[in-house]
Structure 1
């Protein structure tokens, strides 16, 4: 069945093709009487305007793109909510894509959104990506890097001070008497993961009697946390860590689930702290201590930076959020209670 077009609408409404085009693009140029006839024809024919085509002809778009590495992670889902809400407030719609931490899929989406001529892109990547965003920027599409502080001053970015976050996590574990600390995360080449380790490592190096081991994994999910917990459980009690700093909350929740099922007491035997403070952290059977990154403001800030870049291509600002410690029962016991 052929798609209904503007000429069909014009014929049914008894107006010219140009009048329908004005109604769709510049409604103020069409009288109320003609506008009512055109709208009635659109509804009768169930006509869907081709916004992409109109935007290409006008050389502009009201669409933005957000590429996330894992939309199943509540952290990135929360950012997506903020992006959508602020984009709507600024007069834009948003395409949301999930790269699933695949460089191939990430590149495919970057190409796709350029072809669709979106006004700008919001990109969260766990790998270096500034070189590719620089090429896209030179082609006329601005972007904001989410989660990594940009090195290039021309690249706008929104990030968290992850070195400080790692420091806060380690200081907290030390403050509750833990000295055998395991850092669980990876790959360490991921900047956010490496920065959190650097922050924690500095604290433990300065703490007499403290030691730290690194347990790497590539699957930063609940499943990944469970697999590491099983490795820990295979050790004799005296060779297990008494404190664990997980690179994100999903890892920490998986760790706790497996450890508790095996009879390990948390925090008496092993204290656990995560990172990001997702909604499930406080709702866990043992409420999870975490480093809160204010992701609620990430989306809105990123959209504002992107719109600034669209309106003024010379503008490129960087916003760095400060993390904070949220102590709960997984490190300080039942006295912490629930939020």
Structure 2
């Protein structure tokens, strides 16, 4: 098995230069880097990852912590982040907090002990002291699908109030005056923001059907309760906090004999792939899911590559934190009575 010394000898450089090509390629001149990479390929050299991590003082991994890995929204976010990490020969370690703040805190602690280069996190509620401590001790963190608030971090999110306005305005324009918002828990900032936006955009009454989670199961339960009401007591349309809830509502009400959209119009949120493939194609507020992950990862690596301020090894980095906010758009399909598009 080839050693790093063999690569250095073949490329005519020092062992330190080979190490820089492997760990800090931006610090090596292009011609020299190409020569070293050619030697690595010719010798089929396989670096010892444990040794590389020990020498660099950090692993070649970044953490990604999301509330629900079964939600296709977060799968697409992870895909975008992995595309960026892969170009840097860095592995994304995906963790599922299960919408548990305690579990999320444990994963943040493990990220530090495993010496990850940085962490992407979509907090269960609002980023708290565990994130603050991680940043204070020198690990870069970027918030996903959240505003930075008081933390002074980079963050990438979507204007959820704008998304709520789009959904409610669309339903109002279809003549619906009795709406229901299915989503929750409302302690989750996105769920609350989407409801707030819906309330801003229309004079229609909006009943809140709060759920314990944003899942198909919770959507079915809410849809069954709505379908079992008398027509006079039932909302004319439903706006759901995500597509999983909307798909659950759709399944439940159609099983109860209601016609969508004639008896009940439905709008979801996220525009996951399953939305267009539903039995009644689902109108949904689209978020740029993979783009969220890609931009968040680019911001994280930008901070990782930034030099530190003078002082201790874990002193703050010379990095300008940025808040990137995407605007959502509405994809109109049959579930709300519109033309099937998207």
What is the TM-score of this pair, normalised by structure 1? 0.84
Residue 241 (structure 1) aligned to one of 232, 235, 246: 235
Report matched runs for 1:54-65 at 5 Å.
54-65=52-63
Report matched runs for 1:203-282 at 5 Å.
203-204=201-202, 207=203, 210-282=204-276
Contact 2:331–2:341, Cα closer than 8 Å, also in 1: no
Residue 337 (structure 1) aligned to one of 334, 337, 340: 340
Aligned residue number for residue 168 of structure 2: 170
Contact 1:130–1:150, Cα closer than 8 Å, also in 2: no
Deviation at 1:153, TM superposition (A): 6.1
Match status 1:324 vs 2:322 = no
75 and 26 in structure 1: CA distance in 2 versus 1, 3 angstrom threshold: closer
Deviation at 1:63, TM superposition (A): 1.4
Aligned residue number for residue 301 of structure 1: 295
Contact 1:52–1:116, Cα closer than 8 Å, also in 2: no
Match status 1:158 vs 2:187 = no
Mark the runs of 5 or more structure 1 residues left unpaired by the alignment: 1-8, 43-47
Aligned equivalents of 2:180, 2:129: Cα separation in 1: 34
What is the TM-score of this pair, normalised by structure 2? 0.83
Deviation at 1:149, TM superposition (A): 1.0
Deviation at 1:337, TM superposition (A): 2.8
Aligned residue number for residue 116 of structure 2: 118
Aligned equivalents of 2:340, 2:20: Cα separation in 1: 58
| Per-residue deviation, residues 201-236 of structure 1 (Å, max 9, x unmatched) | 1223xx2xx211100011211111000011112211
Contact 1:267–1:330, Cα closer than 8 Å, also in 2: yes
Contact 1:126–1:191, Cα closer than 8 Å, also in 2: no
Aligned equivalents of 1:288, 1:320: Cα separation in 2: 25
| Per-residue deviation, residues 148-179 of structure 1 (Å, max 9, x unmatched) | 11113621100000011101110001000111
Match status 1:289 vs 2:294 = no
Aligned equivalents of 2:88, 2:55: Cα separation in 1: 22
Contact 2:224–2:256, Cα closer than 8 Å, also in 1: no
Match status 1:199 vs 2:205 = no
Mark the runs of 5 or more structure 2 residues left unpaired by the alignment: 10-14, 22-31, 307-316
Aligned residue number for residue 81 of structure 2: 83
Deviation at 1:68, TM superposition (A): 1.2
Aligned equivalents of 1:94, 1:288: Cα separation in 2: 32
Deviation at 1:53, TM superposition (A): 4.2
Structure with the greater alpha carbon radius of gyration: 1
**RMSD (CA atoms):** 2.7
When structure 1 is superposed on structure 2, of 139-148 and 84-93 the one drifting more is 84-93
Contact 1:186–1:193, Cα closer than 8 Å, also in 2: yes
Aligned residue number for residue 5 of structure 1: none
